[in-house]
């Protein structure tokens, strides 16, 4: 597999791509096979497996990789002077192909969709106008160190409620949605699966038990410091393959949270080869490779799961059985920030929250406190906004992303980016964090109001527990 631009993430970070991108499809080969230039951010193991399978199935072509993260890929595609890749195969959760399709950078796949469903639940798998298609799925799950679970005599974490119980105090690792983008999705999984009030009640109890971290969930679980982490399934699946007794558990209330996509660029030099590569990725043979990679992902073809064995989780069967109540919807980047802000208010004094939950659990186990303890629990579980809070235009407008003005122009006329240009804003996150975006000023007083409400709830719980001598 020829690597144009970079051969690895480390190579990219060392800046190896700068000169090579200007000669994308023109690199010379020792043989006469036509290159198929694939722009992607999949890992090396995934690319190697698919390159080998594709070149065996289509010996007239040779894969040529351009490894770019989506924001850099979008800047490259908008550079009118740069030569275009043939295929864009994306592993990132946000569907950047849809963004670029709206601006005219993609062309129809033109492939048979036999065996490829158009959606799973509310998540579309087929792009409008046939301009892209989902190529793999990512689901929410628990990352579990089963050896640590057994050694610490903990109940098996089959669902969220188990992690909310007293046995898991200090034994759950959880990403802070302020710093990890998929963290807000996990909050939505809980609130959709259990309902708004019960979902937040579980979130509060789990947060009280949890160790919050901006990164490093994998290390926390592997070490056994926290036997369970709330996570999307790519890392748990990888560790399950290589580090027994690491396991992933898809809880009874789970979710498909996002998909990766593949599409053909409008300016592709090798349209036939690009279409062949996309066809291979979406074929039964190609899809069966996804669970075998170093970062295993879920196939988008229901017909491949039977051959993968009973241990392979089947999201289509889970969806049909009602396990996946959560339905991803396009609610805008602002709502994810609002959910993160609510969680931040809940855990603003994490030590206090954890201590209050320990007192509630201890009093309940001892049968002390009666109605005072029950009321304290309700105070800790209370969420200061209603389920339909996002319908309030004042709140929605306050959190709405402030996007820079961009010209949606055809690929032939797209301006070349400046060296200092920043990627377009995709969602609101917290300033100073990896996603690099800001909270709009109008949202700050709303956030403070929510934080004050959580403080009052927790102070009330503390007073009630004191009165109950719990």
The CATH number of the domain where 119 resides is what?
3.40.190.10
Do the domain assignments include residue 6?
A: yes
What is the token pair recorded at 388?
A: 């339909």
Q: What is the mean pLDDT of each run of 10 residues along the chain (470 residues)?
A: 44 39 49 92 92 97 94 92 95 83 96 94 90 92 91 96 97 86 82 94 97 80 89 61 71 85 97 98 96 87 92 89 74 78 95 98 93 97 95 91 47 35 29 49 94 98 95
In this prediction the pTM is 0.80
The pLDDT, as a whole number, for residue 407 is: 38
Condensed to tens digits (0 to 9), the pLDDT of residues 215-239 reads 767 888 888 889 999 987 765 555 5
Helical packing angle, 370-381 and 196-209, nearest 10°:
100
The pLDDT, as a whole number, for residue 245 is: 65
Q: In angstroms, rounded to a whole number, what is the distance separating the alpha carbons of residues 422 and 467?
A: 55
The terminus-to-terminus CA distance of the chain in angstroms comes to 65
Do the domain assignments include residue 356?
A: no
Q: Alpha helices, DSSP H only, in 292-349?
A: 305-308, 315-320, 333-346
Domain total for the chain? 1
Q: In angstroms, rounded to a whole number, what is the distance separating the alpha carbons of residues 179 and 323?
A: 28
Q: In angstroms, rounded to a whole number, what is the distance separating the alpha carbons of residues 256 and 327?
A: 8
User: Rounded to whole angstroms, what are the CA distances from 412 to 41, 103, 104?
Assistant: 24, 11, 10
Say if residues 206 and 172 touch (Cβ distance below 8 Å). yes
Do the domain assignments include residue 285?
A: yes
The pLDDT, as a whole number, for residue 205 is: 98
The pLDDT, as a whole number, for residue 131 is: 97
Condensed to tens digits (0 to 9), the pLDDT of residues 145-166 reads 999 999 999 999 999 999 999 9
Owning domain of residue 277? 2-138+258-319
Do the domain assignments include residue 222?
A: no
Do the domain assignments include residue 370?
A: no
Do the domain assignments include residue 228?
A: no
Do the domain assignments include residue 147?
A: no
The DSSP annotation for 347-401 comes to: TTTHHHHHHHHHHHHHHHHHT-SHHHHHHHHHHHH--SS-TTGGG-HHHHHHHS-
Of 180, 245, 158, 170, give the one whose Cα is nearest residue 208.
Answer: 170
State phi, psi for 382 to the nearest 5 degrees.
Answer: -70, 140
Do the domain assignments include residue 209?
A: no
């Amino acid at each position: 597999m020829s690597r144009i631009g970079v051969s690895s993430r480390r190579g990219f970070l060392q800046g190896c791509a700068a000169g090579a991108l200007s000669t994308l499809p023109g690199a010379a080969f020792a043989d006469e096979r036509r290159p198929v230039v694939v722009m992607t951010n999949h890992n090396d193991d995934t690319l190697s497996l698919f390159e080998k399978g594709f070149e065996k199935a289509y010996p007239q072509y040779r894969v040529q990789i351009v490894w770019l993260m989506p924001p850099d890929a979008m800047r490259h595609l908008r550079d009118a002077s740069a030569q275009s890749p043939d295929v864009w195969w994306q592993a990132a959760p946000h569907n950047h192909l849809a963004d670029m399709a709206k601006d005219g950078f993609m062309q129809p796949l033109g492939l048979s969709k036999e065996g490829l469903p158009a959606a799973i639940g509310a998540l579309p798998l087929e792009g409008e106008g046939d301009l892209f298609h989902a190529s793999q799925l990512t689901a929410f799950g628990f990352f579990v160190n089963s050896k640590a679970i057994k050694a610490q005599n903990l109940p098996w974490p089959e669902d969220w409620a188990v992690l909310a119980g007293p046995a898991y105090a200090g034994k759950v690792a959880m990403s802070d949605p302020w710093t990890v983008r998929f963290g807000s999705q996990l909050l939505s999984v809980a609130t959709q699966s259990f309902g708004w009030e019960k979902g937040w009640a579980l979130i509060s109890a789990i947060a009280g038990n949890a160790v919050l971290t901006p990164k490093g969930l994998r290390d926390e679980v592997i070490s056994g410091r926290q036997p369970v982490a709330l996570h999307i399934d790519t890392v748990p699946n990888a560790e399950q393959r290589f580090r027994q007794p690491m396991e992933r558990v898809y809880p009874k209330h789970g979710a498909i949270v996002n998909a990766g996509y593949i599409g053909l660029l409008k300016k592709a030099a090798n349209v036939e080869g690009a279409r062949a590569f996309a066809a291979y990725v979406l074929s039964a043979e190609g899809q069966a490779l996804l669970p075998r990679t170093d970062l295993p992902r879920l196939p988008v073809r229901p017909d491949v799961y039977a051959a993968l064995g009973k241990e392979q989780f089947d999201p289509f069967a889970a969806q049909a059985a009602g396990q996946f109540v959560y339905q991803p919807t396009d609610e805008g980047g602002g709502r994810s920030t609002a959910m993160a802000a609510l969680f931040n208010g809940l855990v603003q004094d994490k030590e206090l929250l954890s201590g209050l939950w320990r007192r509630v659990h201890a009093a309940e186990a001892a049968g002390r406190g009666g109605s005072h303890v029950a009321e304290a629990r309700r105070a800790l579980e209370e969420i200061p906004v209603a389920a339909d809070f996002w319908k309030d235009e004042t709140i929605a407008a306050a959190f709405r992303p402030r996007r820079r003005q961009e010209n949606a122009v055809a690929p032939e006329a797209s301006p070349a980016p400046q060296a200092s240009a920043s990627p377009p804003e995709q969602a609101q996150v917290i300033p100073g964090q990896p996603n690099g975006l800001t909270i709009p000023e109008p949202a700050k007083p709303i956030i403070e109001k929510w934080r004050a409400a959580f403080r009052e709830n927790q102070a009330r719980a503390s007073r009630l527990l004191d009165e109950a001598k719990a």
